[in-house]
Amino acid sequence: MSPRQESETKRGEAEATPRALVVFTPSGRRGRVARGTSVLDAARRLGVDLDSVCGGRGICGRCQVTVSEGEHAKHGIMCTGAALTPPTPTEEAYAADRGLAEGRRLGCTALVGEDVVIDVPQESQVYRQVVRKEADARSIAVDPVVRLYFVEVEPPQLASPRSDLARLLDALEREWDLHELSIDPVALRNLQHDLRAEPAWSVTVAVHDGSTITAIWPEFHDAAYGIAFDVGSTTVAGHLCDLHTGNVLASAGEMNPQIRFGEDLMSRVSYVMLNAGSEKELTRVVRGCVAKLTAELCREAGVERTDVLELTFVGNPVMHHLLLGIDPTELGGAPFALALDTGLRLHASELGLPVNPGARAYVLPCIAGHVGADTAGVILAEAPHLSDEVTLVVDVGTNAEIVLGNRERLLAASSPTGPAFEGAQISSGQRAAPGAIERVRIDPETLESRVRVIGCDAWSDEPGFADVRVTGICGSGIVEAIAELHLAGVIATDGTIDGSLAGRSGRIVRDGRTYAYVLQAGEPELRVTQNDVRQIQLAKGALHAGCMLLMERYGIDRVPRIRLAGAFGTHIDPVHALVLGLVPDCEPEHVTSAGNAAGTGARIALVDRSARTEIEEVVRRVEKVETAVEPRFQEHFVNAMAIPHDVDPYLRLGAQVALPRRWTATVTTDRAARRRRAAERRAS
Ligand code: FES
């Protein structure tokens, strides 16, 4: 007897019996159903979210529920395990084959016998929330745009010559209430073969957006995955997710191979301007990188590429255009016109990706010529548009994307920070990788340093550090080093390294016409040079000025909450970021890490279809601020070059951290140092 027949027989037996009260938790939905009704049917009748792919055949295991045994005074129910009928042979077979946790029942085979309280666990709900680990982070709703449906299709008959597709659509309508579906030609190609593959006349179909059949598998198939990509100018990262659970199964990143055409975005745009037709090559290499990552992610997660049905992309405007094969030349100069500023839906095959031929891709919308789909991803992940509190979100890369606002109003801009925060243009700089100094402490008395490097938890003055090879300083390391040197009185408000201290500490050494601080002696010797400090000042000045422009436009002079996003933003210490003046003054406890918010936004758009409508609506009302043409940018920039700031006293930070008085290192030459030492001798 088939599982359906089993259920129908039992239902028939129970038809004349009185109705039982069924209460579902956590939804709280309740109602009376005929005894003998399956839990799955009861859930559907009462509008309870209980998943199913196999349509109640006891195959998929998505409909698992638990009886909440005990007295439920609120509902007037004394509930025992006997409230549901005992497991059927189908359920027992499922438990033997795939395992069923203690107390779990298959909702499609378990029938209601008595009044009962039934708990629907998270994983059995179609629409569920994935709680993110980071504090302050919004949960991710799981409601993928593509869903799988198992159906049994009537075999063809001479007497009623309906096509295979017509009978498949009939079955989907009958069993799943899906109407007016169309089919992608790539899925149609194998339809006849798939329907006749043994055991014949049962297939699983993938339906995209409730309207189009995009893939078909013979028999029951229960695997649907998606990949969220963050296409950055330096790194391309992908996260492979289970579309059923929303969980990330594998993550991987690759250097963007376009780097050989230019280190930063504008140099790549210049390359395209100077070399007619070269945009095709840039498109080819970035798509090749995405394809390589796709294969790598599938391999790592043990997933068939043909089970990847959905892809999402975020990226800055230049990356966005190049990925889509659009010439980015217009983004190279004012008025920085985007080719499009809406989300884009396309076939993944148009990007040449090795996934299911019917897979779809969704590219999040760009906001403005310098504010890309990566910022749209940041907005989705951080959701400032859903909050009453005004939040400043800063995603720091070679361009800093800045978002400010709340549910009333949202502003966005980008600021040209350059590559210094990624360790480039820093004398001992390197990318964040094992061996790079990421944490720095300077003793204000001795001016001695302690460091910690990526890949080792011990500080350099601890025993566990003995064999660690230090290779360079990454972005967060250089920020901490400069902030600590400022707190220790080595670097002045104007950013000058005070050479007069050379006599006090051997770590301050002459470096041409200026001075440097030796962060790490030995081989390799790692220094913080005057030029390093200048590069960081320029970068942070641009970032801070962008923040100030947005605050000014918004009409506030303080932000209550700051979120630091991106690889650099995630690793930077909030106190050091404030000491340096990277962001406007704020209570240090209200400056927190947002993780890889752009990538998270791509992941949200991947697993939650409604997030796509949401971000497109939000992007339409974002006020764009073009920093390049704002007359006040230069003034803010000059003020923000000082550490932490030339005008703002940083009182909120100062309430918790002893900031040095404002000072200028006037003694930087040998002659001046000699004069000062002589004065000191005289005084002593
Ligand atoms: Fe598939 Fe119950 S609905 S096992």
83 within 8 A of 115, measured Cβ to Cβ = yes
Dist CA 616 CA 672 (whole Å): 61
pLDDT value for 667: 45
Helices then strands, each counted (H, E), the chain:
19, 31
Residue 596: other Cβ atoms inside 10 A? 25
Dist CA 440 CA 478 (whole Å): 8
CA of 98 relative to ligand 1 center, distance in Å: 13
Query: Measured on CA atoms in the order 54, 56, 61, 65, is the torsion positive or negative?
Result: positive
Phi (first) and psi of residue 99, to 5 degrees: 85, 140
CA 584 to chain centroid, in Å, comes to 25
Amino acid at 343: G
pLDDT value for 684: 46
Whether the CB of 63 sits within 6 Å of ligand 1: yes
CA of 57 relative to ligand 1 center, distance in Å: 6
Dist CA 506 CA 486 (whole Å): 17
**What is the best residue among 60, 148, 175 to mutate for testing ligand 1's pocket, by most ligand atoms within 8 Å of CB?**
60
Structure tokens at 199: 């055991």
Q: Is the peptide bond before 26 cis (omega within 30 degrees of 0)?
A: yes
Atom number, ligand 1, closest to the C-alpha of residue 54: 1
CA of 107 relative to ligand 1 center, distance in Å: 7
Give the angle subtended at the CA of 86 by the CAs of 81 and 90, to the nearest 5°. 135
CA of 156 relative to ligand 1 center, distance in Å: 27
Structure tokens at 531: 């030029």
Q: Is the peptide bond before 357 cis (omega within 30 degrees of 0)?
A: no
pLDDT digits (tens, 9 = 90+) for 225-253: 999 999 998 889 999 999 999 999 999 99
Whether the CB of 116 sits within 6 Å of ligand 1: no
Instruction: Give the CA-trace dihedral at 620, 609, 366, 538, to 10 degrees.
Output: 110
Task: Determine whether 486 is exposed, middle or buried from the number of CB atoms within 10 Å of its CB (0-12, 13-18, 19+).
Answer: buried
Q: Which of 637, 417, 435 is nearest to 539 (CA)?
A: 417
Which segments in the chain show pLDDT lower than 70? 1-17, 131-138, 665-684
Atom number, ligand 1, closest to the C-alpha of residue 106: 2
pLDDT value for 555: 96
Model confidence, pTM: 0.86
CA of 106 relative to ligand 1 center, distance in Å: 6
pLDDT value for 660: 86
**What is the best residue among 57, 91, 123, 151 to mutate for testing ligand 1's pocket, by most ligand atoms within 8 Å of CB?**
57
CA of 109 relative to ligand 1 center, distance in Å: 8
Whether the CB of 38 sits within 6 Å of ligand 1: no
Structure tokens at 386: 């859903």
Dist CA 663 CA 494 (whole Å): 8
Relative orientation angle of helices 633-640 and 530-554, to the nearest 10 degrees: 130
Whether the CB of 59 sits within 6 Å of ligand 1: yes
Residue 281: other Cβ atoms inside 10 A? 15
Dist CA 271 CA 638 (whole Å): 31
Residue 490, C-beta contacts closer than 8 angstroms, at least 6 positions apart:
442, 447, 497, 498, 501, 508, 517
Dist CA 163 CA 78 (whole Å): 53
Instruction: Give the CA-trace dihedral at 125, 127, 132, 135, to 10 degrees.
Output: -110
DSSP category for residue 507:
T
Instruction: Give the CA-trace dihedral at 473, 477, 478, 482, to 10 degrees.
Output: -140
Residue 57: other Cβ atoms inside 10 A? 21
Atom number, ligand 1, closest to the C-alpha of residue 55: 3
Instruction: Give the CA-trace dihedral at 102, 104, 110, 113, to 10 degrees.
Output: 80
pLDDT value for 134: 58
DSSP category for residue 322:
H
pLDDT value for 668: 46
Residue 69: other Cβ atoms inside 10 A? 15
581 within 8 A of 548, measured Cβ to Cβ = no
Helix, strand, or coil (residue 302): coil
Dist CA 370 CA 364 (whole Å): 15
47 within 8 A of 147, measured Cβ to Cβ = no
Atom number, ligand 1, closest to the C-alpha of residue 63: 2
Q: Which of 540, 535, 531 is nearest to 579 (CA)?
A: 540
CA of 90 relative to ligand 1 center, distance in Å: 10
Residue 132, C-beta contacts closer than 8 angstroms, at least 6 positions apart:
138, 139, 140, 600
CA 77 to chain centroid, in Å, comes to 44
Structure tokens at 547: 């923040």
CA of 185 relative to ligand 1 center, distance in Å: 30
